[in-house]
Amino acid sequence: MTKIGEIKQQLAAEAAADAAGTPVAEPTATATAVIASSNAAEPATKAAPANTKSVATQAAEPKVEWRDEIPLTLTPGEGMEIKLKMVAGAKAQYSWVVKGGEVNFDTHGDAPGKSISYQKGRGVASDEGVLEAAFTGNHGWYWRNRGQSNVQVILRTRGDYSDIKKMM
């Protein structure tokens, strides 16, 4: 079976288990993707291409229960950042969508003496996937509105993180 097929089966099993309220065993194979994104059709520059893999979304996905949902309003030229506090190897599922336009974004991580850029994009209206922490520290997203009117970014997350915060 292909890697994408295995990922799709695992996501389907997790969604079914979430709906039934039962835990799912972790897959035995170690995933190599640091961030798996379904935004393959969008132009994006990737600073860490060896650690990045795109995954196609399924046409009919089950409803996902999110742990956190954060709406952010960005005025023209404004940028905002959200970070998850994660340990090395931890995984967080995410989905974000822009209402009213598109944004530039940078998915990245940092800790004392360490930093990584997982994925960048320009003129993007949404993205979703799994963020796997390359090291213990803060990992998240920075969005900037380069449009002429206000936009709203809605971030939804769940998974293995201890805190979520808006950076000032």
Question: Alpha-carbon torsion 20, 26, 28, 31, what sign?
Answer: positive
pLDDT confidence of residue 168: 74
Mapping DSSP to helix (H, G, I), strand (E, B) and coil, where does residue 152 land? strand
Cα angle at 120 between 141 and 100, to 5 degrees? 70
Name the residue ranges covered by the structural domains of the chain: 32-167
Q: Domain spanning 32-167: which superfamily?
A: GOLD domain (2.60.120.680)
Question: 121 phi and psi, to 5 degrees?
Answer: -150, 155
pLDDT confidence of residue 48: 40
pLDDT confidence of residue 13: 56
Distance of CA 19 to the CA centre of its chain: 21
Nearest in space to 14 (alpha carbons), one of 158, 164, 163, 161: 158
Spell out the per-residue pLDDT of the chain, length 168, in tens: 444 445 555 555 565 555 555 444 443 333 333 444 444 444 444 344 334 444 444 556 667 699 999 999 999 999 999 999 999 999 999 999 999 999 999 999 999 999 999 999 999 999 999 999 999 999 999 999 999 999 999 999 999 999 999 997
pLDDT confidence of residue 54: 42
pLDDT confidence of residue 16: 56
Question: 13 phi and psi, to 5 degrees?
Answer: -65, -40
| Pairwise CA distance, residues 66 & 117, whole Å | 24
| Pairwise CA distance, residues 141 & 107, whole Å | 4
